[in-house]
Structure 1
Amino acid sequence: MLTVDFDRLGLRPGERVLDMGCGAGRHAFEMYRRGADVVAFDQDADELAGVRDLFGAMKEAGEVPDGAEADVKEGDALALPFADGEFDRVVAAEVLEHVPADIQAIAELARVLRPGGTLAVSVPRWFPEVVNWKLSHDYHDTPGGHIRIYTDAELVDKVTRAGLVLTGKDYAHGLHTPYWWIKCAVGVHDDDHPLAKAYHRLLVWEIMRQPRVLRWAGKVLDPVIGKSMVLYFRKPEVG
């Protein structure tokens, strides 16, 4: 389930790309399939071990083009262990809402992006997230959980102050918003609630089968209640 549109990001085979806060690796895997030189970065060693294993399995299965490379790196988002301008493209999907010092993390993303390169940042969208917080304290008040709710203007301001230029905005996962409203209403840890289970089966069907009716429903719901906001930026050329 991808949040970032890699065609909109401008990703091309052979480019060096960073998935900052990769988690289980969903975006890193797609960039690898597209022939990029991928670094999956996270502070969770266990998650990275699984990502590394799947990188290897993808290579063995012939799912990636010749010349594509992939590696994992453990570290801190506030002090990325990479050179200035090292990456052609950078992705930070559903990460910044977890980071207390988000301005410092954004500065690091801008630093490692080359002039002319592009950045995609996604965070939970303001309205669906506000509803979740009001319905459930447990939804956000957990170790490593969400610590802020971004407005569009706040996040754009923070990233452009780091020297990047906004090039586009999108919303994604409109079908997923009602699921989280249901979960927050019945209890975020109650996976056996009949309504939550039924909606979860719908989402699995959407992800695995991609039926036309749900693709259409997603396109209708994304701009209205899409759970994620995705912003695209470009770093100006030197001079």
Structure 2
Amino acid sequence: MLTVDFTTLGIRAGQRVLDLGCGAGRHAFEMYRRGAHVVAFDQDAAELENVATMFAAMDADGQVPSGASASTLTGDALDLPFPDESFDHVVASEILEHIPEDEKAMHELVRVVKPGGRVAVTVPNWLPERVCWALSDAYHEVEGGHVRIYTAVELLTRLRKAGLQPVHRHHAHALHAPYWWLKCAVGVDREDHPLTKLYHRLLVWDLMQRPWPTRVAEQLLNPVLGKSLVLYLRKPEAGIA
């Protein structure tokens, strides 16, 4: 399930891209399929082993264009081990809400993207996230959990301060918001509750079949109930405001 729209981001074959805080690798895999030179970066070494295994499987299965490459690297988002202006694009999906020193992480991702390059940042959307926090402390009060809820204005202000210019924004995954509200209401660690199991089956069916009624419904609901806020930003070129 992708949150970032890579057509909007402008990914092209041969470009060098960073998936910052890649997690299980969903965005890194798609960029690899599009022929990019991908670096999947995360602090979770065990998760990165799985990502590397999938990269190898994709290559062996012929899913990757000739010339594309993919690698994994463990590290800290507050101290990226890359020279300035190393990447054409950076994706930072659902990571900033986990980082206490988020402005430092923003400055680091701006540092490593080339002038004229684009950055995609996604965070939990304010309203659905606020409902989750109201329903359950366990949802966010865990090690490595969410430390803040961004408003769109607050996030844009911080990213502008870090040196980025907004290009476009949208919301995604409205159908997932009620699932997390249910999880928070019945217990985030409960995997056996019939309501959450039923809703999860609906989400899997929708992901696999993509029927038009749910696609239209999600598009209509996304502006209000979209689980994720997605921002696309540009690093200005030297001398261009």
Task: Give me the TM-score of the superposition, normalised by structure 1.
Answer: 0.99
- Identity, % of aligned pairs? 61
CA distance in 1, matches of 2:207, 2:44: 25
The alpha carbon displacement at 1:100 in A equals 0.6
Q: Aligned AA for 2:103?
A: I
Partner residue in 1 for 2:222? 222
- What corresponds to 1:205 in structure 2? 205
Structure 1 residue 210: deviation in Å? Answer: 1.5
Deviation for aligned residue 1:143: 0.4
CA deviation after TM superposition for structure 1 residue 212, in Å: 1.8
**Where does the alignment leave 5 or more consecutive residues of structure 1 unmatched?**
none
Over residues 183-205 of structure 1, what are the superposed CA-to-partner deviations in whole Å (9 max), with x where a residue is unaligned?
11111111111111110000011
Q: Secondary structure at the match of 2:217?
A: helix
Paired residue secondary structure (2:122)? strand
Residue pairs, 1:53-92, within 5 angstroms: 53-92=53-92
Residue 146 (structure 2) aligns with: 146
Give CA-to-partner distance per residue, 1:61-92, whole Å, 9 cap, x none: 00010011000010000000001000000000
Q: Tell me, yes or no, if structure 1 residue 27 matches structure 2 residue 33.
A: no
Q: Distance in 1 between matches of 2:61 and 2:170?
A: 33
What are the equivalent positions in structure 2 for 1:182-193 lying under 5 Å apart? 182-193=182-193
Note the alpha carbon deviations across 1:120-162, whole angstroms, 9 max, x for none: 0000000100000000010000000001000001110111001
CA distance in structure 1 between the partners assigned to 2:62 and 2:215 by the alignment: 28
Mapped to 1, the partners of 2:224 and 2:161 lie a distance apart of: 28
Superposition misfits of 4+ residues, deviation over 6 angstroms: none
Aligned length: 239
Amino acid at match of 1:121: V
Residue 124, structure 1, aligned to residue 124, structure 2: yes
Asked if residue 110 in structure 1 is aligned to residue 106 in structure 2, the reply is no
Q: Deviations over 1:26-53 (max 9, x none)?
A: 0000000000000000000000000000
Measure the CA separation in 1 of the matches of 2:64 and 2:209: 22
Match of 1:159 in 2: 159
Question: How many angstroms apart in 1 are the aligned matches of 2:207 and 2:37?
Answer: 26
| SS across alignment from 2:159 | helix
Q: Please, what is the CA RMSD of the aligned residues?
A: 0.6
Q: For the residues of structure 2 that align with 1:42 and 1:142, how far apart are their CA atoms? A: 19
